[in-house]
Structure 1
């Protein structure tokens, strides 16, 4: 309702400015041509008032008949007929309105049909500006509304997709963390109590991150450290060795929640856990600068010992992985489109590297 009143107010503002400008320019032209007299002023006032009234009636007819929702060729035909009708109506009604105001008859087309036709064409030069401006304005406004609706629909679909993916990720982390604590309850109760505190922090994170599309890398690393501490108590520091290199200036970089945590969990499950002697889990973060020197991407690499499957089930190169990585790729696509990437490769042989490149800002 507010938008309708706003559009209606601007319509009347432009109506008054347009026909007021028509009146002023005609008065000035008559002064310059030395044709001005009191009757001329009345005649021009009648013409301006009649033009305002007729164009408003034309607009009301368009809205009533929903002409502006028709295909553009139909609208073009209506605009041509409307222009002709407006110009002829003004020339037929102007003498009548002039007589009603002054009480005397004035027929300005004494030269016959040629003079009348010339007058219709002359007035049409002014009316065509109004007709084209109104039709183009309405068409542009409707196109803008369609684009806005499409953007809202796309945003709603993207949000629904993110909510679905997050609901699939939460149980994945929770079951693995519970298994880590269960392994300690009998062997080392003291360490189990510490692990419970870490698990509580991790649970709080996994339950609350759904409220945010992006969080800082610092918050994500806190959850990663809690998870690795839990897994280190289960595997032991000798089997799960850590090498973390994250510059402090990158800690404020926005990242989707649980993306790095998914990579780390995947590395522990398919790398450290599957290797009898364990190995080193490396986490490296570095900026990817543009030609201007500004950081355009954050590059996160998680590497662990292991091998990629020889048969990637027809997935493209670098697109291997299970449900966790598949969900992560879909979340990245929903947030960043093609700007973000997640690849998995074995280089060198015996070392699997998961690389995540995240831009500074998501899609609008």
Structure 2
């Protein structure tokens, strides 16, 4: 049953029951009379007509969006007008029963007016409360939709901002190979192509599997190995059950890039980057450890640097307070970035062979 049918059912049923109660009360006091049925039918039709007109006015003039004071004034005014009309109709209809009493004590007209106003006021308050609740619920839904749309737009902007910065570093790595080792340069172009494909998918998807993200990191590290050679060492500690878990695309790659730029690049002899993944208490934990110290663009805060701010923002947009990110100085020579992501119902099972396929391309000195 739709809302319109429910409305008319409640209108007819409610006013019919109310007037049946009035017939019963009048019968006990004055004795039953067939004219009471006619009076009741007249009041049912009148009450439905007046309250329906009131409903039309409320909707057309959009009273629900008014302030409480403005709404209260209009409600009182509307109830007063409807009551005057109902009193004007009922005075001649009830003259047979209460006419003599009202003539003897005209002050009782006020009580008569109040008694007829009560059901109208109750109807109006119920109707206003229901519509106010519906309006509030609709506003909340619209706000949620708007916030969701804004967050999605912000997430796309953040992903788009990463791509030029990443491309610049990747192309620099390939450029070093063009004259020295053309065959490796071709391989580097293939690796860059893989990275670009992942980057394009990142603009279309909110999340990718951790396995896909690690493959992108493999290609990136292979290109960086050209620049740093023996200075770059890579360590992997990937839990098998984490490979199919969904993560924000290009997020880990950004942190690895940050680790190399602010850690390995500044190391005197050699540096390392280590990726560790595990699950506990229905959460995914990712650690990226690297040689270095928190300073310069990274600062000593947990949100310094573009890549770090980007990571924190994207996690907040996707998971809210359920996810967390921090970066800290683990010891004098090691920086650690930690990410915690809540697990969904996505199947995160994997086989040991998948871990081997990811770890087979580990870049070590």
The TM-score bracket by the shorter chain reads: 0.7 to 0.9
Correspondence 1:194 to 2:178: no
Specify the alignment match of 1:271 in structure 2: 263
For 1:247-262, list aligned pairs within 5 A.
247-262=239-254
Specify the alignment match of 1:137 in structure 2: 130
1:178 Cα offset (Å): 1.8
1:33 Cα offset (Å): 7.8
For 1:240-251, list aligned pairs within 5 A.
240-251=232-243
Correspondence 1:347 to 2:339: no
Specify the alignment match of 1:102 in structure 2: none
The question of whether the paired residues in 2 share the 8 Å contact of 1:170 and 1:207 is answered with: no
Specify the alignment match of 2:15 in structure 1: 19
Structure 2 counterpart of 1:83, from 74, 79, 83: 79
Specify the alignment match of 1:177 in structure 2: 170
Normalised by the size of structure 2, how large is the TM-score?
0.82
Of residues 201-210 and 125-134 in structure 1, the stretch that sits farther from structure 2 once superposed is: 125-134
Specify the alignment match of 1:111 in structure 2: 101
- Output the aligned Cα RMSD: 2.9
- Distance (Å, rounded) in 2 between the aligned partners of 1:176 and 1:56: 70
Of residues 217-226 and 10-19 in structure 1, the stretch that sits farther from structure 2 once superposed is: 10-19
- Is the alpha carbon distance of 1:46 and 1:115 closer, same or farther for their aligned partners in structure 2, counting shifts above 3 Å? farther
Normalised by the size of structure 1, how large is the TM-score?
0.82
Structure 1 counterpart of 2:115, from 115, 118, 122: 122
- Distance (Å, rounded) in 2 between the aligned partners of 1:41 and 1:308: 88
The question of whether the paired residues in 2 share the 8 Å contact of 1:84 and 1:124 is answered with: yes
Of residues 58-67 and 239-248 in structure 1, the stretch that sits farther from structure 2 once superposed is: 58-67
1:155 Cα offset (Å): 2.3
Gap regions ≥5 residues in structure 2: 345-365
* Count, aligned residues: 340
Matched residue SS, 1:20: helix
The question of whether the paired residues in 1 share the 8 Å contact of 2:303 and 2:312 is answered with: no
Specify the alignment match of 2:288 in structure 1: 302
Higher RCO (CA-CA < 8 Å; seq separation 6+): 2
Matched residue SS, 2:307: helix
Gap regions ≥5 residues in structure 1: 1-5, 100-104, 290-294
Specify the alignment match of 1:324 in structure 2: 307
